[in-house]
């Protein structure tokens, strides 16, 4: 493992942050030294506490106000600092300063989040993930406030509060937490067919990522790039993770929510602390103005994406996250993203969902932080020079010395100061508006199913099975039979097989596409899709595999054959993997050759869901002890059930005995892969260094979703 490299990146304000000499005496907020921090002021040692104890009152008062309201959505999150670097100048398309010079490192602060749960909820729930990036550019802050899915539930901002009231816990008892599996959500979306495409993504494995580091990111809406001549083109933004795109098994995600609710937060933190800096490539899909009609996709409709197969992604730069926050509250909690934070060279499209967001974010921050001065907080203020006449407000921290807080003026410097708005600064794209006021939308927005079908058609068999299972799980938690039926009737417009499989599992009537189409609010203006399938919509096989930082559990007990696995562990470590010994108890286990092996975890304080792969070493006594320990058997079977790579050496295979694997399989061949991702080998092969490669190859697949008969595995 490479040593920690804590690079000092991020905006300059860091140098101004409060530094306390921890050896200096404690003081009050007024700077008065505190004589005793353990006892309040009393009338005698047993007497009543005195009101005049200003030290006690100040301490309690501040504590009482330590919390601020959590974000109404995306409350649960984790963030990191880093930088963005361009590959080559993009001046042909955009005048944005940070898109001109490949030598410049633009500081960024990135916050990942779940959308539905409250601040203390679990990380691994089924949900869309927020992917917010603040670029501290020399022309001001630019925020790309996106998600890990490229489309959204609704087309118009006016529906957002309804969507969220339906999706958040139900109001009478505030249940369920951080879950869409309840009646109000499915009631709403089943009456809102425009959400169907997003539902396909939400029911897919994209909604249960393995790590924030292994998610794609999307700007979702169409924006515009504007070049120095004022010419613009449509743009969609994409983040592509260097570590590839990976998910968990649903059963695993649910168990993880209990085992380690902080799993994603910890994973991001640990990776950065250990110098394994997560990285994404920023790419753009560009569409020339006037050419959008040729795509047959309305670019202003946030329930639609542009398949990469129609408009390829142009990679423009890379982002590296290399520093954890110093203070979660001051940075991650107080950071204020806003899709309205633009810089010259980037502009909005007329997407009605995007334009509504422009109001909502600053308004939300105002309510959370209680003052418009949240913009001046260290994490929010730009890294470039500022000059404005925003004054006063609660908690104004700046001391403005000028008398002339207005423009134009001559008093400030003795000469006239006037802003020239014609050419300088942010120039909005000069649009010609089409018509008068209307509460309507374009007929092209009435097309709700073709991209949902395209998504379904583009999934591998295993991915399709997961989507079906997710619909079944969610709808099984819905108590109203009518809502379940309405949902599968809608799904009949996506794919009859999908809808029928879900209906069969729920024990309800066969899907009825006609009934769905006859319902109030159902509009379906069918558009011909240019594609039958789009491989880019599947998660499988699209990234160059990279397994660095993955965790391998080595199950051990007294008598473990360490000689056989020493080389395997070394080779896995050299490949960037982290091998951790899990044993019946902490401390050490004795090896077959009379040595000791340090233990990292016990079966009592960890579980298989915390690991990406499992190594089952040989040793008669070790295998015998582990086979008699339910927790060890469960560990191995559960890893198998979650489709994780497993390597068993000699007697280690006995832990998989109930699945039909046996030592005879290794005797015949010495090394075999009887089932996808299961490597069985004898110790000689391990000593000769012949199994690590096969095990690593199994790990490059991440998960072996095509394993058969998983339902019969008792874990």
Which segments of 312-433 are extended strands (E)? 314-323, 346-348
Q: Are 228 and 238 in contact (CB under 8 A)?
A: no
- Map residues 31-70 to x or -, x wherever contact with ligand HDE holds by CB under 6 A: ----------------------------------------
Q: Tell me the C-alpha to C-alpha distance, in Å, between residue 110 and each of 106, 141, 263, 323.
A: 13, 13, 18, 11
| Least distance from ligand HDE to the Cβ atom of residue 75, Å | 8
Return the residue nearest ligand HDE (CB atom).
Answer: 130
By C-beta, is 263 or 337 nearer to ligand HDE?
Answer: 337
Residues 215-254 that bind ligand HDE (CB under 6 A): 220
Q: How far apart are CA 559 and CA 61, in angstroms?
A: 59
Nearest approach in angstroms of CB 440 to ligand HDE is 18
- Please select the residue that binds ligand HDE; options are 328, 361, 522, 543, rule is CB under 6 A: 361
Q: Rounded to whole angstroms, how far apart are CA atoms 427 and 597?
A: 66
Q: How far is the CB of 361 from ligand HDE (least distance, A)?
A: 4
Min dist. Cβ of residue 128 to ligand HDE (A)? 8
Comparison of 111 and 644: residue with beta carbon closer to ligand HDE: 111
Strand 601-602 relative to strand 578-583, pairing: parallel
CB of 218 to ligand HDE, least distance (A): 7
Closest CA to 581 of 593, 563, 565, 594: 565
- Which of 113, 179 has the CB closer to ligand HDE? 113
Binding ligand HDE (rule: CB under 6 A), the pick from 10, 82, 117, 146 is 146
**Could you tell me the CA-to-CA distances from 403 to 184, 388, 400, 408, 411 in Å, in that order?**
56, 13, 8, 13, 8
Number of alpha helices (DSSP H) and beta strands (DSSP E) in the chain: 19, 19
Using the rule CB under 6 A, is 152 a contact of ligand HDE? Answer: yes
Per CB under 6 A, 72 contacts ligand HDE: yes
Please say whether the beta carbons of 143 and 133 come within 8 A.
Answer: yes
* Eight-class DSSP state of 14: G
Name which of 68 and 295 has its Cβ closer to ligand HDE: 68
> Does 377 interact with ligand HDE (rule: CB under 6 A)?
no
CA atoms of 711 and 715, how far apart (whole Å)? 9
Among 360, 371, 505, 536, binds ligand HDE (CB under 6 A): 360
Q: How many residues does the chain have?
A: 715
Tell me, yes or no, if 39 is annotated catalytic.
Answer: no
Instruction: Out of 91, 100, 160, 275, point to the residue binding ligand HDE (CB under 6 A).
Output: 160
- Three-state SS string over 246-307 comes to CECCHHHHHHHHHHCCCHHHHHHHHHHHCCCCCEEEEEEEEEECCCHHHHCCCCCCCCCCCC
- Calpha distance 184→474 (Å, rounded): 12
**Collapsing DSSP states into helix, strand and coil, what is residue 358?**
helix
Q: With binding defined as CB under 6 A, does residue 356 bind ligand HDE?
A: yes
Task: Select from 10, 55, 71, 560 the one that contacts ligand HDE (CB under 6 A).
Answer: 71
The least distance separating ligand HDE from the CB of residue 339, rounded to whole angstroms, comes to 7
Beta carbon nearer to ligand HDE, 202 or 468 = 202
Kindly state the number of chain residues that form the binding site for ligand HDE, as judged by CB under 6 A: 25
- Please state, in angstroms and rounded to a whole number, the distance separating the CA atoms of residues 189 and 162: 10
Task: Give yes or no: 147 in active site.
Answer: yes
With CB under 6 A as the contact rule, the residue among 99, 108, 116, 157 that binds ligand HDE is 157
Q: Does 357 bind ligand HDE (CB under 6 A)?
A: yes
Report residue 119 as tokens: 């601040």
Specify the stretch interacting with ligand HDE by CB under 6 A; choose among 1-9, 43-51, 72-80, 169-177. Answer: 72-80
Contact 76, 119 (CB under 8 A): yes
Give the shortest CB-78-to-ligand HDE separation in angstroms: 10
Q: Which of 630, 681, 689 is nearest to 653 (CA)?
A: 681
Touching ligand HDE, residues 97-116 (CB under 6 A): 111, 113
Choosing from 147, 148, 490, 558, the catalytic residue is 147
Going by the DSSP 8-state scheme, the letter that residue 688 receives in this structure is T
CB of 488 closer than 8 Å to CB of 508: yes
Please give the structure tokens belonging to residue 360: 């909502």
Bridge-based pairing of strands 613-616 and 646-649 is parallel
Q: Is 74 in the site for ligand HDE (CB under 6 A)?
A: yes
- Residue from 55, 145, 454, 696 touching ligand HDE (CB under 6 A): that is 145
> Which residue in 130, 193, 217, 559 binds ligand HDE (CB under 6 A)?
130
Which of 38, 39, 65, 74 is an active site residue? 74
Q: How far is the CB of 569 from ligand HDE (least distance, A)?
A: 39
Can you point out the beta strands (E) in 548-625?
A: 551-555, 578-583, 587-590, 596-599, 601-602, 613-616
Token couple for 279? 């990285």
Of 137, 147, 184, 204, the residue at the interface with ligand HDE (CB under 6 A) is 147
Between the CA of residue 216 and those of 210, 211, 219, 294, 683, what are the distances in Å?
12, 11, 10, 27, 40
Q: Which is nearer to ligand HDE, 154 or 647 (CB)?
A: 154
Binding-site member from 77, 117, 140, 278 for ligand HDE (CB under 6 A): 77
DSSP state of 42: B
Kindly tell me which of 337 and 603 has the beta carbon lying closer to ligand HDE. 337
Based on CB atoms, which residue is closest to ligand HDE, 157 or 610? 157
List binders of ligand HDE among 293-352 (CB under 6 A): 302, 337
What do you get for the CA distance between the two ends of the chain, in Å? 32
CA distance 384 to 390: 17
Q: Does 141 bind ligand HDE (CB under 6 A)?
A: no
Residue 160 or residue 543: which is nearer to ligand HDE going by CB?
160
| Nearer of residues 371 and 658 to ligand HDE, judged by Cβ | 371
What does DSSP assign to residue 93?
T
* Closer by beta carbon to ligand HDE, 198 or else 257: 198
- Which residues form the catalytic set? 74, 147
Interface with ligand HDE (CB under 6 A): 71-74, 77, 111, 113, 130, 132, 145-147, 152, 157, 160, 220, 302, 337, 353, 356-357, 360-361, 364-365
């Amino acid at each position: 493992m490479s040593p920690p490299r804590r690079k000092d990146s991020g905006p300059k304000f860091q140098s101004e942050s409060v530094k306390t000499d921890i050896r200096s005496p404690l003081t009050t907020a007024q700077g008065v030294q505190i004589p005793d921090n353990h006892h309040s002021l009393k009338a005698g040692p047993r007497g009543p506490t005195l009101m005049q104890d200003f030290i006690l009152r100040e301490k309690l008062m501040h504590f009482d106000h330590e919390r601020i309201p959590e974000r109404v959505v995306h409350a649960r999150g984790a963030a990191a600092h880093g930088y963005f670097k361009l590959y080559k100048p993009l001046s042909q398309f955009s005048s944005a300063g940070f898109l001109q010079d490949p030598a410049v490192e633009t500081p960024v602060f990135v916050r990942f989040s779940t959308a539905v749960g409250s601040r203390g909820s679990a990380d691994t729930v089924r949900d869309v993930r927020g992917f917010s990036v603040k670029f501290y550019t020399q022309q001001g802050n630019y925020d790309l406030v996106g998600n890990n899915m490229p489309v959204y539930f609704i087309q118009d901002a006016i529906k957002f509060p309804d969507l969220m009231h339906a999706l958040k816990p139900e109001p009478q008892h505030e249940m369920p937490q951080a879950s869409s599996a309840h009646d109000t959500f499915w009631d709403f979306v089943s009456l809102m067919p425009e959400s169907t495409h997003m539902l396909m993504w939400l029911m897919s494995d994209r909604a249960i990522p393995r790590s924030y580091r292994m998610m794609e990111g999307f700007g979702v809406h169409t924006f515009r790039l504007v070049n120095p001549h004022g010419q613009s083109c449509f743009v969609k933004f994409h983040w592509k993770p260097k570590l590839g795109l990976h998910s968990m098994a649903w059963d695993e995600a649910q168990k993880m929510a209990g085992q380690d609710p902080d799993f994603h937060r910890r994973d991001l933190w640990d990776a950065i602390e250990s110098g394994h800096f997560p990285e994404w490539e920023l790419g753009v899909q560009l569409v020339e103005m006037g050419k959008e009609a040729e795509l047959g996709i309305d670019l202003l409709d946030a329930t639609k994406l542009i398949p990469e197969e129609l408009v390829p992604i142009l990679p423009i730069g890379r982002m590296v996250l290399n520093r954890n926050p110093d203070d979660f509250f001051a940075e991650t909690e107080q950071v204020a993203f806003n899709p309205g934070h633009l810089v010259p060279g980037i502009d909005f499209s007329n997407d009605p969902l995007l334009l509504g967001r422009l109001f909502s974010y600053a308004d939300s921050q105002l309510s959370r932080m209680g003052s418009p001065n949240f913009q001046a907080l260290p994490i929010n203020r730009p890294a470039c020079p500022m000059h404005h006449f925003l004054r006063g407000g609660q908690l104004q921290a700046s001391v403005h010395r000028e008398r002339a807080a207005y423009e134009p003026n001559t008093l400030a410097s003795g000469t006239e100061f006037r802003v020239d708005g014609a050419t300088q600064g942010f120039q909005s794209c000069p649009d010609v508006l089409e018509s008068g006021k209307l509460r309507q939308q374009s007929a092209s927005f009435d097309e709700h199913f073709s991209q949902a079908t395209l998504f379904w058609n583009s999934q591998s068999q295993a991915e399709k099975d997961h989507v079906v299972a997710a619909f079944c799980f969610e709808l099984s938690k819905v108590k109203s039979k009518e809502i379940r039926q309405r949902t599968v009737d809608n799904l009949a417009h996506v794919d009859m097989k999908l809808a029928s499989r879900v209906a069969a599992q729920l024990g309800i009537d066969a899907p009825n596409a006609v009934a769905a189409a006859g319902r109030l609010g159902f509009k379906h203006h069918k558009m011909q899709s240019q594609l039958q399938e789009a491989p880019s919509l599947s998660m499988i096989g699209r990234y160059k595999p990279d397994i660095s930082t993955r965790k391998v559990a080595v199950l051990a007990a007294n008598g473990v054959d360490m000689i056989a696995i020493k080389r395997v562990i070394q080779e896995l470590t050299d490949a960037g993997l982290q091998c951790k010994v899990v044993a019946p108890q902490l401390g050490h286990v004795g090896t077959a050759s009379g040595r000791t092996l340090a233990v990292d975890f016990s079966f009592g304080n960890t579980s298989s869901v915390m690991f990406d792969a499992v190594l089952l070493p040989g040793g008669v006594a070790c295998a015998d002890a582990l086979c008699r320990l339910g927790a060890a058997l469960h560990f191995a079977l559960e890893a198998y059930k979650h489709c994780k790579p497993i390597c068993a050496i000699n007697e280690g295979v006995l832990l998989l005995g109930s699945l039909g694997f046996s030592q005879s399989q290794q005797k015949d061949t010495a090394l075999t892969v009887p089932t996808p991702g299961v490597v069985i080998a004898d110790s000689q092969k391990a000593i000769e260094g012949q199994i690590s490669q096969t095990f690593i190859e199994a790990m490059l697949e991440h998960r072996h979703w095509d394993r058969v008969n998983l339902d019969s595995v008792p874990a």
